[in-house]
Amino acid sequence: MKNFVVKTIANAAALSVAIWLLKGITLSGENTVRKVLTLILVALVFGVVNFIVKPVVKLLSFPLFILTLGLITLVINALMLLLTSWIAKELGLAFHVDGFWNALIGGVIISVVAWAMHVILPDEKD
């Protein structure tokens, strides 16, 4: 359970940095509390997408992974972010990613920040 909370916090922090840096990724709400709640819910959706969908996509794209020396991972991350945006819209969450290029850059930002957060935050092994 602690690991789940740590991953959600890391995803929320990474998403917030991407929202802050890119105009094409937006999160809206009436007040700060609503925005934070939406951010946490989007982080949960992003975590579920990365847990369920991403391994399947990576398995199916394994030949492309070899062919592109791993650069296809950037595209997969962008697609996972776009999928999260679509699911958030369907759930009525005020989160939107505007286009593939914003998703690609956002995916890179989220990957770097999430990695840094996982280094900083404790996990179950500690």
Model confidence pLDDT, tens digit, residues 73-96: 899 999 999 999 999 999 999 999
CA distance 62 to 4: 27
Is residue 77 packed enough to be buried (19+ CB in 10 Å), middle (13-18) or exposed (0-12)? buried
CA distance 93 to 42: 7
Per-residue pLDDT at 41: 94
pTM: 0.87
Nearest to 45 by CA among 92, 111, 99: 92
* Structure tokens that stand for 10 in this block: 């890391």
